[in-house]
Amino acid sequence: MVEEMFTQISNYYDLAYLNTKNWLHIHGPDIIIILIVSWLTHLFASKFVSSLLHHTVRADLYPSRVDRERRLKTIEGLVGVVLRIVVYGVAFVLIIGEFGINTGPLIASAGVLGIALGFGAQSLIKDFTSGIFIIIDNQYRVGDFVTIDKVSGTVEAVTIRTTILRDLDGSRHHIANGSILVATNQTVDFGGISEDILIGKTSNIDKVRDAVNKVGQEMLQDKVIGPKIKEAPYFDRVLKFDKNGIFIRVLGTTGANDQIEVVGNLYERLLTEFRHLKIELPDTKISVAK
pLDDT higher at 15 or 178? 178
Average pLDDT over residues 142-155: 87
What distance in Å separates the CA atoms of residue 210 and residue 222, rounded to the nearest whole number?
A: 18
- Residue 141 belongs to some domain of the structure: yes
* Cα 85 from Cα 236, distance rounded (Å): 54
Q: Identify whether residues 145 and 230 lie together within a single domain.
A: no
- What is the reported pLDDT for 41? 87
Q: Tell me which residue range forms the domain holding 44.
A: 2-120
196-254: pLDDT as tens digits: 999 988 889 999 999 999 999 999 999 999 999 999 999 999 998 888 889 999 999 99
Same domain for 240 and 226: yes
Q: Are residues 169 and 219 in the same domain?
A: no
Question: Residues 149, 235: one domain?
Answer: no
Q: Within a domain: residue 195?
A: yes
Residues 34 and 96 in one domain: yes
Instruction: Enumerate residues 6+ apart whose C-beta is below 8 A from 62.
Output: 68, 71
List residues bridging with 241 in a β-sheet.
Answer: 246
| Within-domain flag for 129 | no
Task: With CA atoms as reference, report the closest residue to 248 among 219, 280, 275.
Answer: 280
pLDDT tens by residue, 61-117: 566 677 677 767 777 777 777 788 888 888 887 877 777 666 666 555 555 555 555
Q: What is the CA radius of gyration of the chain?
A: 31
Q: Is residue 126 part of a domain?
A: no
Mean pLDDT taken over the chain: 79
pLDDT for residue 47 = 84
pTM: 0.51
Q: Is residue 172 part of a domain?
A: yes
Distance (Å, rounded) from C-alpha 4 to C-alpha 1? 5
* Residue 289 within any structural domain of the chain: no
SS3 content of the chain, % helix, strand, coil (to 5): 55, 20, 25
Length of the chain: 290
DSSP state of 161: S
Count of structural domains within the chain:
3
CATH number for the domain harbouring residue 226: 3.30.70.100
- Rounded-to-integer distance, Cα 46 and Cα 165, Å: 25
Instruction: Check if the beta carbon of residue 69 is closer than 8 Å to that of residue 54.
Output: no
| 189 three-state secondary structure | coil
For position 252, what pLDDT does the model report? 92
| CATH number of the domain enclosing 115 | 1.10.287.1260
196 and 238 both lie in a single domain: yes
The answer to whether residue 151 sits within a structural domain is yes
